[in-house]
């Protein structure tokens, strides 16, 4: 069923109705601000060209719980600052989505982000990728984002390994969430550059739900590198001990004796 609420400039399309492109032309194109398309299993392509005639610069498009497998980008820089494509079947992020500030691609079964697809989004502020399938390993360049990004959610992606330079480009004040993954190690070559970047601007890395992280000699670098521990949030060891409760001096001394 399709409905139009002129008072709130809202268009909603649900069930097995198609969105009539003519609905977003003429006077409606000058006023509509919110477009909601949901619960339509017949829709397999998220065609963003449909919204190119809409005039308002604060357009919010929500297209959740459909059957989108691919995204067709607009033919010009996007006029959609907020784009929600959650709960679809999009396996890979490609194409030009320039102009998007808030991009939500959660619960899609997403397995890949084409290199450069996100770095080109020079307005991107918030990226939600939780509950996808980007794991078990994030290779170098897997999540390369622009310096404008201040919030990145990678929760529940089955990630057990993050390689060096897998997550790059974010703002130094960013909040990066890796909650509820399967991390069992915290290698310096991967996490030190990431944490040093966050430490510059008060950003933080949220690790809650990775309850198998080590608290042994492999993380001594965390205590020896100025500032980086302040950027670590919710780090728990194998025995659910918070990293903040570790006797760091004792650990450093113990590991120093082991190296002799």
Counting Cα atoms < 13 Å in the Cβ hemisphere of 120 gives 13
Cα 157 to its chain centre, rounded Å, is 11
Tokens of 227: 């500032």
Q: Note the residue count of the chain.
A: 260
Residues pairing with 102 in the sheet: 82, 126
What pLDDT does 20 receive? 67
* Residues forming a β-bridge with 204: 175
Strand partners, 137: 161
- Going 227 to 200 to 171 to 151, the CA torsion angle's sign is positive
Is-above-0.75 flag for pTM?
Answer: yes
**What is the structure's pLDDT at 18?**
61
**E strands within 67-197?**
70-72, 82-84, 92-93, 102-104, 112-113, 126-128, 137-138, 143-144, 151-153, 161-162, 167-168, 175-177
Tens of each residue's pLDDT in the chain, 260 residues: 444 444 447 777 665 556 666 777 777 788 888 999 999 888 999 999 888 888 888 999 999 999 999 999 888 877 899 999 999 999 998 767 888 999 999 999 999 999 889 998 999 999 999 999 999 999 999 999 999 999 999 999 999 999 999 999 999 999 999 999 999 999 999 999 999 999 999 999 999 999 999 999 999 999 999 999 999 999 999 889 999 999 999 999 999 887 75
In the chain, the N- to C-terminal Cα span, in Å, equals 73
Residue 156, pLDDT score: 98
Alpha carbons 59 and 132: distance in angstroms, whole number? 26
pLDDT value at residue 4: 44
pLDDT at 19: 63
Q: What is the pLDDT of residue 169?
A: 97
Name the nearest CA neighbour of 28 among 50, 48, 1.
50
pLDDT at 8: 46
The CA angle 227-232-234, to the nearest 5 degrees, is 150
């Amino acid at each position: 069923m399709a409905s139009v609420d002129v008072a709130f400039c809202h268009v909603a399309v649900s069930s097995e109705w198609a969105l009539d492109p003519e609905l977003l032309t003429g006077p409606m194109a000058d006023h509509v601000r919110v477009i909601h398309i949901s619960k339509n299993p017949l829709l397999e392509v998220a065609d963003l060209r449909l919204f190119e005639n809409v005039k308002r610069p604060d357009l919010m498009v929500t297209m959740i719980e459909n059957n989108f497998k691919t995204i067709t980008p607009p033919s010009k820089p996007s006029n959609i600052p907020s784009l929600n494509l959650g709960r679809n079947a999009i396996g890979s992020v490609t194409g030009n989505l320039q102009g998007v500030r808030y991009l939500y691609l959660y619960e899609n079964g997403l397995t890949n982000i084409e290199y450069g697809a996100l770095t080109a989004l020079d307005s991107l502020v918030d990226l939600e990728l939780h509950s996808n399938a980007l794991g078990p390993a994030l290779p170098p360049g897997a999540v390369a984002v622009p310096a404008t990004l201040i919030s990145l959610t990678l929760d529940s992606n089955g990630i057990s390994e993050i390689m060096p330079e897998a997550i790059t480009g974010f703002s130094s004040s960013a909040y990066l969430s890796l909650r509820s993954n399967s991390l069992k190690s915290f290698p310096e070559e991967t996490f030190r550059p990431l944490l040093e970047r966050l430490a510059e601007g008060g950003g933080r890395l949220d690790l809650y739900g990775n309850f198998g992280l080590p608290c042994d000699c492999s993380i001594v670098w965390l205590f020896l590198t100025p500032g980086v521990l302040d950027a670590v949030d919710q780090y728990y060891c194998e025995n659910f001990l918070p990293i903040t409760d570790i006797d760091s001096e004792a650990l450093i001394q113990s590991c120093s004796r082991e190296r002799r």
